[in-house]
A and B are shown apart, each in its own frame.
Chain A
Amino acid sequence: MKASSFGYARPESLAEALELLARHGERAKLLAGGQSLIPSLNLRLSSPALLIDLGNLSELEGIALQGKDLRIGALTRHRAIERSPVVAAHAPLLAQAAPHIAHVAIRNRGTFGGSLAMSDPAAEWPACCLALGASIVVASARGERRVQAERFFKALYATDLAPDEILVAAEIPAAAADSRSVFLELARRRGDYAIVGVAAQARRSKGRLQDVRLAFLGVAAVPLLARRAMAALEGGPCDAAAIAAAERALGDELEPMADLYHSAATKLHLARVLAGRALAALAA
């Protein structure tokens, strides 16, 4: 299929992009890496009047440690995160997750901010941002604001972004010295959307886990923090009994939707298996 016709603009600055967006609102779509938008245009699932290509906004690209936060610009490519020593040092969970995102060719083009704004329930970055307690930086002609990841992902493919706002960055608290993280996912083929995945981080000292964060992808319309499982582990030893309790707790808080190949029951089972493996890795 061919895309239906659309207008095209390639602003030179964020201000210009915001001005275009303020003018065209929901009739416009932002083009970042294009790895989801272009196929959806060609499938005529999306037919915007105007495409605003953010490709020239180098101000939105880059990874930097700012005080206690790691700031990742929205236009930073997946591949840059995967290969960044700064990310590996201060947000190792992202480095662990990156290789699971599609394939290298897609990681070379796709962007961090594009993935967050798209909010696919099976995508890796939204779950990582939840697990890491990131705040999402959004801008509009009205100014800039920060939204906690927990309040950013609202519903299936829906975020807290207003029609005139552009996601410009995420700020991620840098990992503590005693922090451990693990990212696991199951996909039928390497690079496919995950059936289920887990982004886990905790601080571990003297055999106990603190600040446990378990975020799941692929188990709901949005990435989900498993608060009951987290509570079952918080402050205690991460032994077989605690892991079993956490796995049990998942049954009360995850309500996965069946996909083409897996029933809700199978997805819950797989989420428990992954949780067990992730926790064992955190404790090891």
Chain B
Amino acid sequence: MNERVAPERLAPEPRAEERKAPPAQTAATGYIGASVPRANAKRLLEGRGCYVDDLKLPRLAHVVFFRSPHAHARIRKLDLSRARTQPGVLAAFDGRAIAEYCSPWVGVLGHLKGIKSPPQHAVAIERACSQGEAVAAIVAETRAQAEDALQHVEAEWEELPAVTGMEEALAGRTVIHPELGDNICFRRELATEGVEQAFAAADLVVEETFGFGRHTGVTLEGRSILADYNAAEHSLTVYQATQAPHMMQDIFSRHLGIPEANVRVICKDVGGSFGIKVHVYPDEMATAAISVMLRRPVKFAADRLESFLTDIHAREHKAKVRLACTRDGRILAFDLDDLTAIGPYSVYPRTSGIEGNQVVNLTGGPYRHQEYRARLNVVFTNKNVTCQYRAVGHPVAVALTEGIVDVAAAKLGLDPAEFRRRNLIPDDAYPYTFPSGIKFEKLSHHQCLDKLLALMDYAGLRAEQAQLRTRGVYRGIGLAAMIEVTNPSPAFYGVGGARISAQDGATVRLEPSGMVTCLSSVTEQGQGTDGIFAQICATAVGVSVDQVRVITGDTGVTPYGGGTWASRGAGIGGEAVLQAGKALKSNILDLAAAVLGADKATLEVRDNAVCDKATGESKLPLAEVGRIGYFRPDTLPLKFQAELSATRHYTPREYAFTFTNGIQASLVEVDTDTGFVRLLKHWCVEDCGTVINPLLVDEQIRGGIVQGIGAAMLEECLYSAEGQLLNGSLADYLVPMTGDVPDIEVAHVCTPTRQSELGAKGVGEAGTAGAPGAVMNAINDALAPLGARVTDQPFTPERILKALKKV
């Protein structure tokens, strides 16, 4: 059941039914709310995608990196002379050579007070601070030759003490960067005035510590870059698998010393990102620098082993949380103490302080308590760096909030759904300011809860669970309410000094044939952005969706903007497309009014033609508008100039973030002899405002839930005490596969944001945010009659057997 509620603010009204194929003629109701198939799906399925690694340019060179085998070591000797003489080798560089062309960076932001990190080079100089850090680059005619030559690099290392544990890092007996004084990257504390009193006066205080394994976002396409420096123009064209081409344009410009206007970043097809591809990676910066040094195109494509070692990791947290409540089940306060480790550097330019900061902002988020205390420590360690990965901080905040809420409900003897009902922020309480300082425009927690309980037949499942327990079958039901940051304003990065745009732009242009081209600064990673922009554009202009072509991912072509991150593409980029499309329509009507000698107010664009607004009678096909506008403007009144393209920009500014909300549920069965968990079913009801394409929205939710299930059940980057990654391959690092994933039912409540005309909030991360907490609560619900609980993700069979005291 995928129910949609009509968006209130968008005119024309949405279609109710889904479409199988794009209709030839658009109805007056438009495409908002219709499951229009996206144009690029067929191309990708036919193998006609073009990824960075598919590109071949004349004189293309390939670079590979000699990487530190140690977690922390000083380079005693690095001799590249033998490597340089191997067949096909064009050059070999150490960190100092690269540094002459690429300046180092520091991953801090002004609004994260006190955050610190040392300068980081594209290729490490003197010292490696994590396993896999590049210390030399080998460039050859082919990748295979470069790999052959790697084996002739002679290096001698002096191993240094590796700090790998979070507590060890916090204690600071060994300091990774002595010049920083300690291992603390960032620290934040906040407390409301009455929090002590709330805990003192509470009838019940519960406490639990939750652990979150370090994991990563496994993209189908690995990180890849092809940099092509043109010495004649002092220009650099970069083909890159990135989510933020304009951000990268700025960074290449500043760190390589090339004027911004001479740097062009192009994203061809991008094979999945999940936040992995929105950061600055030293090996990618080195590749661009080497292109400048060698004055020829150079390509680097991370292989899967390099991806596991060097793609950003995320979510290594240990968090103690306390909850105070009254006897009758009213939550009074939360108290959080979160410790997270980020590797040896804060990642540039978004910093590695954001995830912990989000945990502080969001913990307790769905509930109406007024008191809150939080403490956050973000520490350096000698493991790979961590940074923003899909749902940044949310899966941690949701799991520990919902985990402790279940503990409290159990202690009070209250049903978990009923306990939530008593504490969720009422649907009529908005706008609302949460104790951490974040503001909610309008959420729908109670509508979502009611809808979820009906959708899953909560009462029926509880009855079945009780009946099965009598036969020794241990099923569990877990709930997880959530809030989600989407459509961020400049408050996320811009205010901290980052040159990361929170606005996006769109240009919509009528072509002479009457077709429409839409250029957007938001990028396509395989999620369907291009498809929904075509729908919005077609609706706004009044053409059928097959008449629209969407172009994204080229700083030389599209308006300036932020790209794809923080669930912002549809809500921000989509609004820019809507406004640009409306502006173009107005310009088309101006031309038509001039041609027809009619009053513009009596005209409308519908079904690829200008028509009479009242009767619908077609007056002037858009192909005719294009023909006259571009080829026969001589026939137009002398003072009339046709403007058949329009550009509009949009930034949300009224709220720092446009929060969404929702609730998920998981049904599991635990085999108490083996510790294996079968995921039987998963449900999600969420509120992303206007649903532009129900199919894509639901698949975003499902895909997100699958990644959340991965975190809860399977995925963890395992390190030895010495800082060696133990599972850097797809055989050892387990991601969920289709056979491991239950059916996922998705439904919606629709509360459009009033900040934009489109009314869309973000949806890309909600699934990931809530799923781990729901699965954890379901497992613990199943184990409850046996007196066992698990709190450390992922919930491996061994962890469950240990909780059951069977091993």
Contacts and interface: CB of A to CB of B under 8 A. Distances in A.
B144 A190 contact: no
A34 to B, nearest CB: 16
Given A43-B305, A188-B734, A260 B727 contact: yes
B807 A186 contact: no
Interface string B732-756: 1010110110000000000000000
A44 B147 contact: yes
9 contacts: A1-B303, A5-B144, A188-B714, A188-B734, A191-B739, A263-B807, A266-B797, A266-B801, A269-B806
Contact-residue bracket for chain B: 20 to 34
Nearest to B737: A189
Given A188-B734, A190-B739, A193-B731, A266 B798 contact: yes
Contact of B797 (A3, A4, A260, A262): A262
Contact of A266 (B673, B731, B736, B807): B807
Given A1-B305, A43-B305, A189-B734, A262 B144 contact: no
Interface class of chain B by DSSP: loop
Interface string A1-20: 11111000000000000000
A44 B798 CA distance: 33
Given A43-B305, A262-B797, A269-B807, A2 B740 contact: no
B142 to A, nearest CB: 8
A265 B675 CA distance: 13
Contact of A186 (B147, B148, B676, B806): B676
B517 interface: no
Contact of A261 (B144, B148, B796, B806): B796
B279 interface: no
A192 interface: yes
B674 A262 contact: no
Interface in A2-59: 2-5, 43-44
Given A192-B734, A260-B727, A262-B797, 10 more contacts: A4-B148, A188-B734, A193-B731, A195-B797, A260-B732, A263-B798, A266-B675, A266-B797, A266-B807, A270-B797
B739 A189 contact: yes
Contacts of A266: 675, 797-798, 801, 807
Interface in B668-727: 673-676, 714, 718, 726-727
Contacts of B806: 269
A2 B143 contact: yes
B798 A261 contact: yes
A84 to B, nearest CB: 24
A44 to B, nearest CB: 7
Contact of A2 (B144, B675, B714, B727): B144
A190 B797 contact: no
B714 A189 contact: yes
The 7 closest A-B pairs by CB, nearest first: A2-B144, A190-B739, A266-B798, A273-B673, A266-B807, A269-B807, A265-B807
Interface in A246-272: 260-263, 265-266, 269-270
A186 B674 contact: yes
Contacts of B674: 186, 270, 273
Contacts of A5: 144
Contacts, number: 60
A277 to B, nearest CB: 8
Contacts of A265: 807
Contacts of B675: 266
A260 B737 contact: no
B316 to A, nearest CB: 17
A263 B731 CA distance: 18
Contact of B798 (A43, A189, A190, A262): A262
Interface string A219-254: 000000000000000000000000000000000000
A105 to B, nearest CB: 13
Contacts of A44: 147
Contacts of B673: 273
B238 to A, nearest CB: 24
A269 B797 CA distance: 11
Contacts of B796: 188, 261-262
A2 B64 CA distance: 11
Contacts of B714: 188-189
Nearest to A186: B674
Given A2-B143, A190-B737, A190-B740, A260 B718 contact: yes
Nearest to B796: A261
A269 B801 CA distance: 9
Interface in B137-159: 143-144, 147-148
A192 to B, nearest CB: 7
A261 B797 CA distance: 9
Interface in A198-233: none
Contacts of A263: 798, 807
A59 B533 CA distance: 59
A189 B740 CA distance: 7
Nearest to B727: A260
Contacts of A43: 305
A193 B727 CA distance: 14
B218 to A, nearest CB: 14
A265 B798 CA distance: 10
Contacts of A186: 674, 676, 797
A271 B143 CA distance: 45
Nearest to A259: B732
B436 to A, nearest CB: 36
Nearest to B732: A260
A261 B713 CA distance: 12
Nearest to B739: A190
B215 to A, nearest CB: 14
Nearest to A188: B734
Contacts of A190: 737, 739-740
Contacts of A2: 143-144, 147
B731 to A, nearest CB: 7
A128 to B, nearest CB: 22
A269 B802 CA distance: 11
Interface in B141-195: 143-144, 147-148
Nearest to B802: A266
Nearest to A190: B739
A269 B734 CA distance: 22
A52 to B, nearest CB: 22
Interface string A177-199: 00000000010111111010000
Contacts of A1: 147, 303, 305
A243 to B, nearest CB: 13
Contacts of A261: 796-798
Interface in B640-688: 673-676
Nearest to A195: B797
A156 to B, nearest CB: 16
A108 B148 CA distance: 32
Contacts of B737: 189-191
Contacts of B144: 2-5
Interface in B102-155: 143-144, 147-148
Contacts of B732: 260
A203 to B, nearest CB: 28
A186 B676 CA distance: 9
Nearest to A5: B144
Given A2-B144, A189-B714, A265-B807, A260 B798 contact: no
Contacts of B740: 189-190
